[in-house]
């Protein structure tokens, strides 16, 4: 390896690694501080997500029901295809 390249990589390592280490611990500390806050926010918003899931299921239910009666013609024979499992 070229000695100038080796020295430049060593110097670059000694400059970049401390910056990386400082940024890592800053991010880690920020996440530790924000974790309880985000848990409370998610706990409060949980009913909204559950209600949204219920509304989405209610909107999709007629389409699931109609999909049970979907019919495909293969080779002239009528074959019933059940794409949706029972709810």
E-only strand ranges, 1-87: 71-74, 77-80
pTM for this structure?
0.45
CA distances from 34 to 15, 27, 29, 41, 49 (A): 30, 10, 9, 11, 21
Q: Which two tokens stand for residue 52?
A: 């949204």
Residues 29-69 pLDDT 10s: 999 999 999 989 989 999 999 999 999 999 999 988 888 88
Residues 61-86 pLDDT 10s: 998 888 888 766 655 555 555 444 44
Based on C-alpha coordinates, what's the Rg of the chain?
Answer: 29
Q: Which two tokens stand for residue 55?
A: 């509304």
Q: Which two tokens stand for residue 34?
A: 């924000």
């Amino acid at each position: 390896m070229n000695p100038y390249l080796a020295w430049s990589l060593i110097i670059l390592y000694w400059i970049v690694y401390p910056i990386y280490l400082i940024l890592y611990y800053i991010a880690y500390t920020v996440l530790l501080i924000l974790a309880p806050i985000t848990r409370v926010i998610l706990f409060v918003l949980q009913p909204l997500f559950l209600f949204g899931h219920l509304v989405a299921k209610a909107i999709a239910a007629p389409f699931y029901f109609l999909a049970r009666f979907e019919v495909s013609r293969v080779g002239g024979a009528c074959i019933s295809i059940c794409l949706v499992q029972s709810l």
